[in-house]
A and B are shown apart, each in its own frame.
Chain A
Amino acid sequence: MLTRFLLLGLDKKAGVLLAVLALLAVAVPVMALGTAPDSPWHLSTHSVALMGKYLCFALLALALDLVWGYVGILSLGHAAFFTLGGYAMGMYLMRQIGPRGVYGNPILPDFMVFLNWKELPWYWHGFDQFWFAAVMVMLVPGALAFAFGWFAFRSRVTGVYLSIITQALTFALMLAFFRNDMGFGGNNGLTDFKEILGFDIQAPATRVGLFVATVVALAIGYILASSIVASKLGKVLVAVRDAESRVRFLGYETERYKLFAWTLSACMAGVAGALYVPQVGIINPSEFSPASSIEAVIWVAVGGRGTLAGAIIGAVLVNFGKSYFTAALPELWLFALGGLFVLVTLFLPKGILGLAAQLRQRLPSRGAVAAKPAGQKGV
């Protein structure tokens, strides 16, 4: 049954995407570790980390596309789930520092020693175990999303209202995590990590390992998402997006469907955040800012919402552009990003993949109908 379900999502588009990811998983380790530093083929550790970061964002975008593209829930708070996952991983990494911190306390992280705390808060227990942290990475964002969605969907908060309260959610979390007495390092967040699973976190090989793990996570996320979308459940989700009350009159409890997709999406975002933290080396409350959530939305919009692969492409492209602009023309980056928001919504409502599909449809034959992505009405 499971294989049949997973095979559902494996169409031609998925094949291309998975092939690209497989290529990355092989080529990047070879280029980073197997070539001399002066070779033109050599990838620096920095580049590997940067690519890893893009793919984490791609996983976040994928999660967002699942709820926005297929269920019509425009979340302006997905960064909250991403960051919570990141904090869960960050807590594990902090515990791994052990006595190597500045204050040399074997149990307490530096910032707690600095704040004169005498013992570890209860919610920090267990994070010295990787498996525990790995579970929490999905459980914490998932549980928050479940609780939030349970209330919001049952009381039928939809559309713009839902978007605004998701934004309020992430904003409230940001304010909370900025407080020192929350026990998450306040302003500075969690940083100065040393080891992950016993490997030096700065070592090139570890970086490559993290990159490969990210590729694998993204591939799993993609297969999962595209299988769900192709299943009957996915059809119900799209139906909910287009005409929710009609779906109810067919006897589907739409709240449960939304809750399912929403919670799963939050878990995926949590995993993305968890992979992000060891690769960038820090997690702090500014990741919760409403702006980062909205930025993730534009990745999806650029790639084409409701296409899954588009979300991945959009995230990588926009973030590549961001890296380029903020280094070369920092003054112009916000203009470029702002312009992107306006141009995409006005002229490219279906994103790059939607445009590609339209162009392909113009050309006769080639079975264009099958390749057509799920279009959507204005939400």
Chain B
Amino acid sequence: MHRALCWLLAAFLALAAPAAFAADLEPLVRGLGAGNYADTEKALAKLAETGDPAAVPVIEALQAGDLYVRKPDGAVVVAKRSGNGYALTDPVTGAPIGEADRNAVEKIKVNNALRRTMSAALGALTLMSPNAGVRWQAAEAVFKSRDANALEALDAALAKETDEGVKRAMTQARASVVLGSSAPDGDKLAAVEVLKDRGDQDALALLNGAAGNGSEAVKAAAGKAVAAVESRLALWGAAQNLWYGLSLGSVLLLAAIGLAVTFGVMGVINMAHGEMVMIGAYATFLVQEGFRAWAPGLFDFSILVALPVAFLVSGAVGVVIERSVIRWLYGRPLETLLATWGLSLALQQAVRSLFGPTNREVGAPSWMSGAFQLGGLTITYGRLWIVVFAFLVFGALLVALRRTWFGLSIRAVTQNRNMASAMGIRTARVDALTFGLGSGIAGLAGVALSQIDNVSPNLGQGYIIDSFMVVVFGGVGNLWGTLVGALALGSVNKFLEPYAGAVLGKILVLIFIILFIQRRPRGLFALKGRAVEA
């Protein structure tokens, strides 16, 4: 799966490498402007024989009609219109070599025969390139263009090719060309098989074309191949949806899990929860700015530093909020809801005043950018890390609540405040720290969201309703419920999207939850028993 990436990288390197053979090419390039079509064709053939990638831009310029002969010295140049005259560049090195009057240059004319030769020469040049990445790209280009002229070069290249991946790409390219040509049925049937194995959207399009015309045998084979590819694609499509669902679900999980602590464990409705996420995202931004300014070389690590910073900043804000406002409102959930909503407004405005209303740019470290192919799935590293991260946070929280003294105190206070107090647990402190924990986790969510969403003062607002839905759907007071709720809502959303569109899908999910709450007012994993009803 890394191979494609390596090739791309190699291709870039190859293009960046200076034309080592520039001197040798010079006379051959000059030959292009020598005179009649036949001479040009000969020069082209020689150019192709060199197998030098530096010849590629020259031929491309010729194809584009940008190649001219400078009359005074007969040099072949690339000329682009500029003002009244032409700006000239060297066709091989690409270096500018001054300007020329309109009459001082003459275009090298091409005819159809020449055009074919050019394609073949280009194909041969790139397909024979010493660089595997370039060869792979060339093969893919032929696959898309289905240029019959490239067939010869392709066969020649295939005979020499040693790299398995490039060989496969070339075989597929060949099949693509063959299927579009008037080749005998036997060849076409083989081509159908090759394309069936490739099995992506492009192959499907080609096979569909083949199923529509040609001999009966080919039609039938192509039809079968289409069905096979389609079912495979559907499978991968479902897998892709599942992945998207998992990805969205993990984002929801991150946003909701802190809420599950404050709402589920403490029974406090924190409408400013989204702002804790937002503060975490801004903390990430600040840490990153710090790295940019003082340690740009360590930029890739900035997000690792941002994690504890965001946790602590959001957690601290949470503790302050609990101590100053929420502790006066225990047992009055609706009042808490209103007060924390007010805090969320003030926090948004505070951040807006400090950082401005516009989006802030938070970059991705190199290990979080890019994507890879997993079968028919395209998975971006950023999303993958967020999924991993969400589960790590969930696991850590679970362990913290189950296995630590702090977790034990939280559970004790939740179940029986007076008893816990009598046992010597400082309940006020536990309250503050629990709220800080929930807020801190929201801050961690902010670090993750800064990678996939706009960092703006409104960041949190977009997640607060979804987070509440997750917690309510999963069942309050149950972390596993939150996990299942987040993943279920994420998947349902993504599976609805292709049919209903993103917005309607979301509306349907909301309606579903509203109806669901009617059936099970206490969520999926509700606590049962007399204590709940009291």
- Identify the A interface with B (CB < 8 A): 74, 76, 148, 151-152, 154-161, 163-165, 167-169, 171-172, 175-176, 178-179, 290, 294, 297-298, 301, 331, 333-335, 337-342, 344-346, 349, 378-379
Q: B518: CB under 8 A from chain A?
A: yes
Q: How far is the CA of A158 from the CA of B334 in the complex (A)?
A: 11
Known pairs A163-B334, A172-B510, A337-B342; A346 contacts B325 (CB<8 A)? yes
Shortest 10 CB-CB contacts between residues of A and residues of B: A341-B342, A338-B346, A334-B349, A338-B345, A378-B332, A172-B510, A338-B342, A155-B518, A345-B339, A151-B518
Q: B504: CB under 8 A from chain A?
A: yes
Shortest distance between the CB of B111 and any CB in chain A (Å): 48
A-B contact pairs, 16 of them (CB 8 A): A155-B517, A155-B518, A159-B333, A167-B468, A172-B506, A179-B503, A179-B504, A333-B349, A334-B349, A335-B346, A337-B345, A342-B343, A345-B335, A345-B342, A349-B335, A379-B335
Chain A residues contacting B217 (CB-CB under 8 Å) are none
Q: B83: CB under 8 A from chain A?
A: no
Chain A residues contacting B353 (CB-CB under 8 Å) are 331
**Is there an interface contact between A165 and B342, defined as CB atoms closer than 8 Å?**
no
- Identify the B interface with A (CB < 8 A): 269, 325, 328-329, 331-339, 341-350, 353, 465, 468-469, 472, 503-504, 506-507, 510-511, 513-515, 517-519, 521-522
**Is there an interface contact between B332 and A339, defined as CB atoms closer than 8 Å?**
no
Chain A residues contacting B269 (CB-CB under 8 Å) are 160
Q: How far is the CA of A313 from the CA of B13 in the complex (A)?
A: 73
Q: A338-B349, A341-B339 are in contact. List 16 more A-B contacts (CB 8 A).
A: A148-B514, A152-B517, A160-B333, A167-B468, A168-B465, A172-B507, A175-B503, A179-B503, A297-B338, A301-B338, A331-B353, A333-B349, A337-B345, A341-B343, A342-B339, A342-B346
Shortest distance between the CB of B217 and any CB in chain A (Å): 47
**Is there an interface contact between B332 and A175, defined as CB atoms closer than 8 Å?**
no
> Which of A157, A337, A344 touches B517 (beta carbons < 8 Å)?
A157
**Is there an interface contact between B342 and A342, defined as CB atoms closer than 8 Å?**
yes
Q: How far is the CA of A215 from the CA of B299 in the complex (A)?
A: 63
Q: How far is the CA of A290 from the CA of B507 in the complex (A)?
A: 14
**Is there an interface contact between B342 and A339, defined as CB atoms closer than 8 Å?**
yes
Known pairs A178-B503, A339-B346, A346-B325; A155 contacts B521 (CB<8 A)? yes
Give the nearest-CB partner of A346 in chain B.
Answer: B328
Shortest distance between the CB of B511 and any CB in chain A (Å): 6
Known pairs A346-B325, A379-B332; A168 contacts B342 (CB<8 A)? no
Most buried by A among B328, B346, B515: B346
Chain B residues contacting A168 (CB-CB under 8 Å) are 465, 468-469, 510, 513-514
Shortest distance between the CB of B150 and any CB in chain A (Å): 45
* Cross-chain pair count, CB within 8 angstroms: 124
Q: How far is the CA of A331 from the CA of B457 in the complex (A)?
A: 14
Q: How far is the CA of A167 from the CA of B415 in the complex (A)?
A: 29
Known pairs A74-B334, A168-B465, A301-B338; A161 contacts B517 (CB<8 A)? yes
Most buried by B among A151, A164, A340: A164
**Is there an interface contact between A175 and B465, defined as CB atoms closer than 8 Å?**
no
Chain B residues contacting A169 (CB-CB under 8 Å) are 510, 514
**Is there an interface contact between B343 and A338, defined as CB atoms closer than 8 Å?**
yes
**Is there an interface contact between A341 and B503, defined as CB atoms closer than 8 Å?**
no
Q: How far is the CA of A6 from the CA of B348 in the complex (A)?
A: 46
**Is there an interface contact between A346 and B329, defined as CB atoms closer than 8 Å?**
yes
**Is there an interface contact between B518 and A338, defined as CB atoms closer than 8 Å?**
no
**Is there an interface contact between A161 and B472, defined as CB atoms closer than 8 Å?**
yes
Give the nearest-CB partner of B331 in chain A.
Answer: A378
Q: How far is the CA of A301 from the CA of B507 in the complex (A)?
A: 30
Chain B residues contacting A349 (CB-CB under 8 Å) are 335
**Is there an interface contact between B339 and A379, defined as CB atoms closer than 8 Å?**
no
Give the nearest-CB partner of B513 in chain A.
Answer: A168
Q: How far is the CA of A7 from the CA of B436 in the complex (A)?
A: 53
Give the nearest-CB partner of A166 in chain B.
Answer: B514
Q: How far is the CA of A83 from the CA of B353 in the complex (A)?
A: 31
Chain A residues contacting B519 (CB-CB under 8 Å) are 155
Give the nearest-CB partner of B523 in chain A.
Answer: A161
Q: How far is the CA of A236 from the CA of B495 in the complex (A)?
A: 46
Known pairs A159-B333, A168-B469; A331 contacts B342 (CB<8 A)? no
Shortest distance between the CB of A245 and any CB in chain B (Å): 9
**Is there an interface contact between A294 and B465, defined as CB atoms closer than 8 Å?**
no
Q: How far is the CA of A179 from the CA of B506 in the complex (A)?
A: 12
Give the nearest-CB partner of A155 in chain B.
Answer: B518
Chain B residues contacting A344 (CB-CB under 8 Å) are 338
Chain B residues contacting A171 (CB-CB under 8 Å) are 465, 510
Chain A residues contacting B345 (CB-CB under 8 Å) are 334-335, 337-338, 341
**Is there an interface contact between A175 and B342, defined as CB atoms closer than 8 Å?**
no
Chain B residues contacting A164 (CB-CB under 8 Å) are 468-469, 472
Chain B residues contacting A345 (CB-CB under 8 Å) are 329, 335-336, 338-339, 342
